[in-house]
Amino acid sequence: MDQEYDYIIAGAGAAGLSLAWGMLQSPLADKNVLIVDADLTPKNDKTWCFWHAGIPPFSDVIHKRWSTVEVRTPEEHFSQRVDEYLYYGLRSIDFQQKVLQALKAHDRFDLLENAVTDITVHPSEQSAILHTPDQVFQASYIFQSCFKPSGLEEADIRYPLKQHFMGWELTANREVFDPSACVLMDFDETFTEGVAFMYLLPWDATSGLLEYTVFSDRLLRSEAYQEKIALYLHNRFGLQRTDYLVSREERGVIPMQDRPFIPWYNSRSMNIGTRGGLTKPSTGYTFIRIQDQVRNIIEGLLSEGIPHVSPPSKLRFRAYDLWLLHILHTEPREALDIFYHLFRNNAMDDIFRFLNEDSTLAEDLKIMSSVPYRPFFRAIWKSRRRLRELQLAYTPSDRFPR
C-alpha cells in the first residue's frame, strides 16, 4: 500500500471539489485527505446554474446573477422578476481555481493528477482501496464520481431521457442582449423528437452564453446544434455569422432518468454528485443538491464517523418527476403544452420553490391544477408500477454502509 488517508475523493468535478471545500471549512480539515483526478487543471468548459433563496454557495465567485427570468413559447412571452429564488451562473474555472488554490495551501490535503482505475474494499472491510495505474491508496471511506454505481444497468431505466446541449459563448458587435434577464427556455416547436429550446445567459449587452438544449433519448449531430444556434441568433437578434465572435463551445449530456437510488458504490465507497443520483430527473439540475449531500456527509462523519446518505426526494416529488418523464418520453407535444400553462399560470418564485422541493402539498396542488390534467392522468396510470419499483428499491439499510 503506497499511502493511507482518512478519506479519499475520487473525481474533482463539481461534487468532488464541493466535498473537499466543505471538509476544509469544517473540523475535518485536520484529517488527511487525498483528491484524485486525471486532470486537475482549471478549465472554462462548464457553467453551473441554479436558483437559490438566500446567499448562494460560492457567492464570492458567482459570475452572474439575474433577477428576471424569461420564458418564450410559440404563443406567448413571459418575463417575471424573482424576489426569492434568484438565478445564478457559476463558471467551472472560477469554482475550480478557488477550491484548488485553497487545497494546495493546506498541508493535510493532497492533490494527485492520475487516472482512477478501480475502487475496491479491503479484505477486512474496514477500509476502501483506490487504484491508479501505478499506485494504490487506502482510506476509511472513498467518495467517488468516476464510475457508474455498481448494479446500475441500462435495463433498470424505463425512461432513458437525456438533457443534451451545445452552447456558444460569444460576443456580438453591437448591444443585443438584456443583461438583467436570463432566458430559461425559448421553445423550438419545429423540433419533433422530444422537447427543445434555447437557453440564454447574457453576461452583458454584447456577450453571453447561448445553448441549444434538448430533452430526448438521442443525441444530435454537432452540426445540428450549431445550425439551430446560428438560426436563433439571426431570427431573434438579427445577427449574421459575421456579427459575432464565438470564443468557446460548451457541450453536455445530463441524465434525466428514473434511475434507482444507489448511494453506495461498495461498502466503503459512496457515490456522489450525478453518480450518486443527485441530478433531479425532471430538470437535470444538480449543483444545489450536491451542496446538500456535502452537508449530510460531513455531519455524519463528525457525529458518528460514518457519512450520512442524503435520502431520496419525498415520494410525492419522485412521483411528479416520474410522471413528467413519462410525458416527455411518450408525448413531447403534450409536454410543450404543460410548460406553456405552467409558466403562464404561476409566478416564477412559486415554480422554483416547487422544483426545489421546498413547496407544501397545498402549493404542489396549486401548481398541478394549473396545467392540463389529461396527460398526467395517463402518466399516473401507466407509470404506477414503476413508481412502486423505485419506492421499493430504496430501503433504510441503504442509509449506512453494509
Residue 141, CA distances (Å) to 10, 120, 131, 148, 233 in order: 11, 11, 14, 17, 49
The structural domains of the chain, with segments of one domain joined by +, span 3-153+258-304, 160-257, 315-399
pLDDT digits (tens, 9 = 90+) for 135-170: 999 999 999 999 988 877 776 788 889 999 999 999
What kind and span of H or E run contains 171?
strand 160-172
**Exposure class string for 8-27: b at 16+ Cβ within 10 A, else e:** bbbbbbbbbbbbbbbbbebe
CATH 3.50.50.60 fits 3-153+258-304, yes or no: yes
Cell for 175? 448591444
pLDDT digits (tens, 9 = 90+) for 288-335: 999 999 999 999 999 999 999 988 889 999 999 999 999 999 999 999
Mean pLDDT of the chain: 93
CATH number of 160-257: 3.30.9.10
**pLDDT at position 151, please?**
74
**pLDDT at position 396, please?**
45
pLDDT digits (tens, 9 = 90+) for 39-50: 999 999 999 999
Calpha distance 114→205 (Å, rounded):
41
Say whether pLDDT at 174 is over 70: yes
**pLDDT at position 1, please?**
52
Q: What is the mean pLDDT of residues 349-353?
A: 97
* pLDDT tier, 402 (very low <50, low <70, confident <90, very high otherwise): very low
pLDDT digits (tens, 9 = 90+) for 246-288: 999 999 999 998 888 889 999 999 999 999 989 999 999 999 9
- pTM equals 0.93
